[in-house]
Structure 1
C-alpha cells in the first residue's frame, strides 16, 4: 500500500491503487503464495503477475 500514488501511471502504483480499493484484497497478509493465489483468482485489475512480483520484491527490499 505504500506504493500507492493516484497521480502515477506506473504499473506498480496503479496496482497498489487498485488493490487499495479492492475491499477483499488481503492487505495485512505477508505470505507471497496467499496474495498470489488471491490475485490469480480475483485480480482482474492486474494485467500481469509480473507487476505483483515487482511490487512484492520492493516490499521485501523495504523490510530489509
Structure 2
C-alpha cells in the first residue's frame, strides 16, 4: 500500500491547479509533512496545525476518500 502522500502527488503539476493540486504541491514542498503515513488521523492532525489554505482539510477529506477507494481496487 502506497502512502497517502504518494497518492496525492498524482494531482501535482497542472497548468491551472485546483485545490487538490494546491494541496499536493504544498505537501511536496513541506519537508515536515508525514510523507510515509497511511494513517488518516496522523495526517489530519498535521493539517489541522499546519493548514496551507482555508479549505485544506475538506480537500484532504476528498482526497482521502479517493485514496481509500483507489486502494480497494
Instruction: Check whether the contact 1:11–1:51 (CA below 8 A) recurs between aligned residues.
Output: yes
TM-score (ref. length: structure 1) = 0.85
Corresponding position of 2:16: 8
Moved over 6 A (4+): none
More helix by proportion, 1 or 2?
A: 2
Match of 2:5 in 1: none
Structure 2 gaps of 5+ residues are 1-8
- Greater RCO, CA 8 A, separation 6+: 2
Aligned length: 63
Q: TM-score, normalised by structure 2?
A: 0.76
Query: Unpaired runs of 5+ in structure 1?
Result: none
Cross-structure match for 1:46: 53
Partner deviation per Cα, 1:8-37 (whole Å, 9 max, x = no partner) = 321111100111100100011000000000
